[in-house]
Amino acid sequence: MANFSKISVANDARTELHDKLNLTGAEISVNNLPAGAGVPFVHYHKKNEEIYFITAGKGTAVIDGQTVELSADDWLRIAPAARRQFAASANEGISYICIQVRENSLEEYTADDAGIEQ
């Protein structure tokens, strides 16, 4: 078995990568909301923080009742317990990647975890 997985992702509303890439340490999704659309529910997590990267467009996140404006190239980290809901702007869609990992689980950074071949 190869030590890597590679896929291409269509412009679907939501693509979850855990099964497609056999992820074992993170949950990652690719999300696309058309103009005026929003996620129809508020959610939170028990253990996982979420990191969002806005790849295109504009929209908002309502986090614990506070509205945060979002646009391309923004990064956003949300603690597990925070209540959150996302929406595209009225006249422009939004695309984003969501990375979900267990809060406080990062034990080693790249410099400490990497091995260098000579």
Phi, psi of 63 (to 5 degrees): -120, 115
pLDDT of residue 58: 98
Binned average pLDDT, 10 residues per bin, the chain of 118 residues: 84 89 93 96 97 98 98 98 98 97 88 83
pLDDT of residue 113: 83
CA distance 63 to 57: 19
pLDDT of residue 1: 54
Strands 84-88 and 66-71: unpaired
pLDDT of residue 75: 98
pLDDT of residue 12: 87
CA distance 53 to 4: 23
Q: How many C-beta atoms surround the C-beta of residue 37 within 10 A?
A: 15
pLDDT of residue 9: 86
